[in-house]
Amino acid sequence: MGFVSTDEERDGLIRIAAFQFLETQVMLHGDVLPWAVLTNGFTYQGTRVPLLGASGIWKPKVLDLPISIATAPPASGKPAPYDDEVRDDGLLLYRYRGDSPSIADNVRLRETFRQGRPLIYFHGVSKGRYRPFWPVLIREDHPAELHIAVDIDAGVLAGWDLSELDTPGGLIEKSYARRLTLQRLHQDAFRERVLKAYRHSCGICSLKHVELLDAAHILPDADPRSEPVVENGMSLCKIHHTAFDRQILGVRPDHVIEIRADILEEVDGPMLRYGLQENHGQRLILPRKPAEQPNRLFLEERYELFRQAS
């Protein structure tokens, strides 16, 4: 199949416009975007450019090559089984469409790889909601195995502190690269499930502005036992999440909140008093379903870290 390619410069400008559009939408909606926003897309020189469509390998009419690839949300509402689809080097294995490398979408995808064009990867988090990663690059093409290998960070593990993961030779262990990729793919579905369990409010102060809420891990991300399951999470506002991560705030196994002793003794403004000190001795606001409440053993282990810091 031959290609009469869109002018390379124009193709690049459209892709840059798509990335800028996503930046704006993430600022408006958060990291997970609704289907309608993505299928409506943006307008480029009077032409609408949808970023997502019925096909997982999506090519808008304005381009000759795909602009995005997508993985559908899991039907059950549970995390997609990415563990078997991410290699030790952190590359995501993305399957071709159908069972032949000669299908048009697959041929276009291979041409995208050959030309080194950047793409958007949409990870389905829940029904009608997708987390975009951009720009992503296809690093390898395996027609015989009917898949490509995708770098969802385009060579940069953005947002991760890698200072403690360097080997003596200065290279990151492959197992760490794989784990970081899996965490990125799972974290948004984890947040959605945790916030839903806590009725979209902070479990400490009841703040209900979703854009100010996080899903805090009880067992830290770095712990190999830390899984993106609701019983390993708490819905916390950004202030209380940071306080929890920095051992300023602890949660006992009986769900009682404690503030570190030195913080209780400080004298400062109303934020310290009402935001932290007055929560000492209060109880965590729990999900209604027992199965979604914090794992007691996880809380015991995390509370011990808080005690050691006190």
The domain boundary, picked from 151, 170, 186, lies at 151
Would you say residue 16 lies in a domain? yes
Domain count, the chain: 2
Residue 119 clears pLDDT 70, i.e. is over it? yes
Task: Convert the pLDDT of each residue in 9-51 to its tens digit.
Answer: 889 889 999 999 998 998 888 889 999 999 999 999 999 999 9
CB 147 within 8 A of CB 93: yes
| Same domain? 146 vs 16 | yes
Sign of the C-alpha dihedral computed for residues 119, 125, 155 and 144 taken in this order: negative
Does 212 or 184 have the greater pLDDT score? 212
Query: Does one domain contain both 141 and 210?
Result: no
pLDDT in tens, 224-281: 677 888 999 999 999 999 999 999 999 999 999 999 999 999 988 888 998 999 999 9
Provide the token pair at 175.
């197992």
Query: In this structure, is residue 289 part of a structural domain?
Result: yes
* Per-residue b or e along 24-48, where b marks 16 or more CB atoms closer than 10 Å to that residue's CB: ebeeeeeebbeeebbeebbebeeee
pLDDT digits 0-9 by tens, 165-208: 333 333 344 455 666 677 777 788 889 899 999 999 999 999 99
In the chain, % of residues over pLDDT 70: 85
Distance CA 194, CA 285 (A): 13
Give the rounded distance of the alpha carbon of 223 from its chain centre: 18
Residue 197, token pair as written in the block: 């369990």
Q: How does residue 154 score in pLDDT terms, banded at 50, 70 and 90?
A: low
CB contact at 8 A, 105 and 57: yes
pLDDT at residue 86, as a whole number: 86
Number of Cβ atoms within 10 Å of the Cβ of 129: 20
Which of the four pLDDT bands, split at 50, 70 and 90, describes residue 222? Answer: low
**pLDDT cut 90: percent of the chain above it:** 62
Amino acid at position 174, single letter:
K
Residue 1 confidence (pLDDT) above 90: no
Distance CA 52, CA 65 (A): 14
Domain range enclosing 56: 8-151
Q: Categorize the per-residue pLDDT at 156 as very low, low, confident or very high, splitting at 50, 70 and 90.
A: very low
Same domain, 93 and 219: no
Question: For residues 150 and 90, what is the distance between their CA atoms, to the nearest angstrom?
Answer: 9
Shared-domain flag, residues 33 and 134: yes
pLDDT of 3 = 47
In this prediction, residue 126 has a pLDDT band, given cuts at 50, 70 and 90, of confident
- If asked whether residues 144 and 74 sit together in one domain, one would say yes
Q: Report if residue 104 sits inside a domain.
A: yes
Residues in the chain: 310
Q: Is 260 helix (H, G, I), strand (E, B) or coil?
A: coil
Residue 161 within a domain: no
Per-residue pLDDT, 38: 97
Residue 291 · residue 304 · CB < 8 Å:
no
For residue 6, name the pLDDT band (cuts at 50, 70, 90). low
Q: Which residues contact 26 (CB under 8 A, 6 or more apart)?
A: 33, 132
pTM of the model: 0.69
Q: Are residues 207 and 274 in the same domain?
A: yes
In a domain, residue 45? The reply is yes
Residue 179 lies in a domain: no
In a domain, 242, yes or no: yes
Domain boundary among 134, 151, 168: 151
Would you place residue 65 in the very low, low, confident or very high pLDDT band (cuts 50, 70, 90)?
A: very high
